[in-house]
Chains A and B, each alone.
Chain A
Amino acid sequence: MSDAFWIILTGSLVAMTSGLLGCYLVLRKMSMVGDAISHAVLPGIAVAFLLSGSRSSVPMLIGAAAFGMLCTWMIEVFTKKARVQEDASIGISFTWLFAIGVILITFFADQVDLDQECVLYGEIAFIGFETWLGVPVAVWTLGGLFLAIIAFLYFGYKGLYITTFDPEYAATLGISVATWHYLLMGAVSVTTVFTFESVGAILVVAFLIVPAATAYLLTRKLQQMLLLAAATGVIAAVAGYYLAVWINASISGSMVVVLGVLFAMAFVAHIARKASPQKQKNLLPDNG
């Protein structure tokens, strides 16, 4: 298999996994919490490296999930207990955690095989270097993650659905809204770690939010929205790779640029449809 194939496959897995989770972030109006988590996991990864001394996935996952949850919890505490605005709470929490991560990495740079460039921008171009059974390790881990997230969304469909649409009502049914909130945030944290390696901390949020927001503009059915978000991600991965090769630029950067173009197209389609008279007729309220 060529490098191109593996890079596109990696990008697609990243984009699909984050796109699916992103749908729930967008619907919960928590896009910026996704951004926060994607940065806040950095100290978790650094600590995991320091403690385990290896780049194996399990300690990384635990570290990332722990710090992702910590960030979620911090945002909630600042907002609810101290009445700080939510966007301010987000700004405080994740920048602080991210800064700690940066310091940890620079401080222990010689002990940790993890450089800042890679953390910030990713290294999707090099994913073919490390292989197992002829398949890049990144594809194994991202494939596993993708299946795990699919399973989570499948079995958690109703729980996520009701706590996203109407958390108060869900609570009156005895459903633990907090549990589902933290499960989702845990899934976002774990996904972020893996996507980190390939696209870097800065662009993770684009993969989380842009496909989901694009899909949201095109449909008002959740299952369609999930499928469209995943499809948008794959299109961006393929087109982004060839764009990068063509103009000789960063691969993950090009993928995000394509995502932005796809969003713009969906936006135009949405505006056009809203203006068309047929849709208007459909929107007329029936009596009462």
Chain B
Amino acid sequence: MTIRAEHPVIEAHDLTVSYQRKPALWGVDFSLPAGVLTGIIGPNGAGKSTLIKAIMGLAHPDSGYVRILGRPIDEVREKVAYVPQRGSVDWDFPASVLDVVLMGRYRKRGLLRKLHAADKELAFHCLEKVGMQDFIKRQISQLSGGQQQRVFIARALAQQAEVYLMDEPFAGIDATTEQTIFELLGEMRKEGKSIVVVHHDLQSAYKYFDWIILLNTQLIGSGPKSDIFIPEFLRKTYGGKLNMLTSVGELMAELEAPLREKN
């Protein structure tokens, strides 16, 4: 089921992407409204990361296309920020927290020109937003997983974009950091930013996201969470896996009793 958005911030049409002839995405078609927090949900290998990479122009579609703010990605890179998976880089790289966050300013300033003092100030503010301002001089090899994740988010914030795409920002981080990041995403939404997050935990997904994309190579559903987050679609997304269904059942029970929230 696909619920369309008027004046979409991101739209995909008949998107098919494959690796070595094996399709990772098949005929995916959806549109997202502006100013919402969207979760891309699905099992491992469902093509969640591929979808976000296709949106960013990092994976090349066999067919179909993506528009961001009504334009091809290359025309709007100024307005789109990407947070890659934490594990995609070597954290032993010789760089400080500040060095990494400042990369978010490279496009604005141009590669050949010097960064300004204002850029460092902005980097500091972005680190403040993720609670990492005390680590600004720290070498990145000395960060914990949650801290690495927050540095990556601060780098995206430094781009001052309108649309943010994040690949598994909650993978392998502790509950406190998860809470901090979700609060930050909520604030960003209030400022009118559009945020798309690849996510794997169903419970927090229902709690925090406004819009849900259910994906398992094909699109199972896209729409406001109340329309999409229903057992029928979840079962379709996760297949007949028994343990998965049980946890969905538990989840549904929990949704009935919203007072039993975490924390």
CB <8 Å contact, B57 and A172: yes
Residues 67 to 101 of chain B near chain A (Cβ within 8 Å): 74, 77, 80-82, 84, 88-90, 92-96, 99-100
Q: How far is the CB of B90 from chain A (nearest CB, A)?
A: 8
CB <8 Å contact, B107 and A174: yes
Known: A83-B20, A220-B139, A286-B144. A172 touches B93 (CB 8 A): no
* Residue in A closest to B91 when the chains form the complex, CB atoms: A165
Q: How far is the CA of A188 from the CA of B89 in the complex (A)?
A: 24
Known: A282-B142, A285-B144. A165 touches B95 (CB 8 A): yes
Q: How far is the CA of A173 from the CA of B103 in the complex (A)?
A: 9
Known: A166-B103, A285-B144. A172 touches B77 (CB 8 A): yes
Q: Is the interface of B mostly helix, strand, loop or mixed?
A: mixed
Q: How far is the CA of A168 from the CA of B176 in the complex (A)?
A: 28
Contact with B along A259-288 (1 / 0, CB 8 A): 000000000000000000000001101111
Among B100, B159, B180, point to the contact of A165 (Cβ < 8 A): B100
CB <8 Å contact, B147 and A165: no
Q: How far is the CA of A282 from the CA of B112 in the complex (A)?
A: 35
CB <8 Å contact, A155 and B112: yes
Q: How far is the CA of A216 from the CA of B90 in the complex (A)?
A: 14
- Please indicate the chain A residues that have their CB under 8 angstroms from the CB of B142 in the complex: 282-283
Taking the complex as formed, is B208 at the interface, i.e. its CB lies under 8 A from any CB of chain A? no
Among B82, B92, B141, B144, point to the contact of A169 (Cβ < 8 A): B82
Known: A285-B144, A285-B147. A220 touches B94 (CB 8 A): yes
CB <8 Å contact, A288 and B103: no
- Please indicate the chain B residues that have their CB under 8 angstroms from the CB of A83 in the complex: 20
Contact size class for A? 20 to 34
CB <8 Å contact, B174 and A165: no
Among A162, A169, A173, A222, point to the contact of B94 (Cβ < 8 A): A222
Taking the complex as formed, is B56 at the interface, i.e. its CB lies under 8 A from any CB of chain A? yes
Contact with B along A87-120 (1 / 0, CB 8 A): 0000000000000000000000000000000000
Q: How far is the CB of A174 from chain B (nearest CB, A)?
A: 4
Q: How far is the CA of A156 from the CA of B111 in the complex (A)?
A: 8
Q: How far is the CB of B7 from chain A (nearest CB, A)?
A: 24
Q: How far is the CA of A171 from the CA of B74 in the complex (A)?
A: 10
Taking the complex as formed, is B106 at the interface, i.e. its CB lies under 8 A from any CB of chain A? yes
Taking the complex as formed, is B58 at the interface, i.e. its CB lies under 8 A from any CB of chain A? yes
* Residue in B closest to A219 when the chains form the complex, CB atoms: B94
Residues 140 to 156 of chain A near chain B (Cβ within 8 Å): 155-156
Q: How far is the CA of A92 from the CA of B177 in the complex (A)?
A: 47
Q: How far is the CA of A286 from the CA of B145 in the complex (A)?
A: 11
Q: How far is the CB of A33 from chain B (nearest CB, A)?
A: 16
CB <8 Å contact, A220 and B82: no
Taking the complex as formed, is B146 at the interface, i.e. its CB lies under 8 A from any CB of chain A? yes
- Please indicate the chain B residues that have their CB under 8 angstroms from the CB of A220 in the complex: 92, 94, 139, 141
CB <8 Å contact, A169 and B176: no
- Please indicate the chain B residues that have their CB under 8 angstroms from the CB of A222 in the complex: 94-95
Known: A27-B94, A168-B84. A162 touches B103 (CB 8 A): yes
Q: How far is the CA of A162 from the CA of B158 in the complex (A)?
A: 15
- Please indicate the chain A residues that have their CB under 8 angstroms from the CB of B174 in the complex: 288
Q: How far is the CA of A253 from the CA of B158 in the complex (A)?
A: 49
- Please indicate the chain B residues that have their CB under 8 angstroms from the CB of A169 in the complex: 82, 84, 103, 155
CB <8 Å contact, A158 and B106: yes
Taking the complex as formed, is A59 at the interface, i.e. its CB lies under 8 A from any CB of chain B? no
Q: How far is the CA of A159 from the CA of B113 in the complex (A)?
A: 11
Q: How far is the CB of B74 from chain A (nearest CB, A)?
A: 7
Among A158, A164, A285, point to the contact of B111 (Cβ < 8 A): A158
Q: How far is the CA of A168 from the CA of B89 in the complex (A)?
A: 9
- Please indicate the chain A residues that have their CB under 8 angstroms from the CB of B139 in the complex: 220-221
Q: How far is the CA of A86 from the CA of B82 in the complex (A)?
A: 28
Instruction: Name, among A156, A164, A225, the residue most crowded by chain B CB atoms within 10 Å (CB to CB).
Output: A164
CB <8 Å contact, A171 and B180: no
- Please indicate the chain A residues that have their CB under 8 angstroms from the CB of B100 in the complex: 165
Q: How far is the CA of A83 from the CA of B159 in the complex (A)?
A: 35
CB <8 Å contact, B82 and A172: yes
Q: How far is the CA of A66 from the CA of B150 in the complex (A)?
A: 43
Given contacts A173-B159, A175-B106, A285-B147, 9 further A-B contacts (CB under 8 A): A165-B100, A166-B88, A166-B89, A169-B84, A216-B94, A221-B94, A224-B94, A288-B147, A288-B177
Contacts A/B (CB < 8 Å), 11 sampled:
A165-B90, A165-B93, A172-B57, A173-B77, A173-B103, A222-B95, A285-B147, A286-B135, A287-B176, A288-B144, A288-B174
| 5 shortest interchain CB distances as A-B pairs | A285-B144, A172-B82, A173-B107, A222-B94, A288-B177
- Contact residues of B with A, CB < 8 Å? 20, 56-58, 74, 77, 80-82, 84, 88-90, 92-96, 99-100, 103, 106-107, 111-112, 131, 135, 139, 141-144, 146-147, 150, 155, 159, 173-174, 176-177, 180
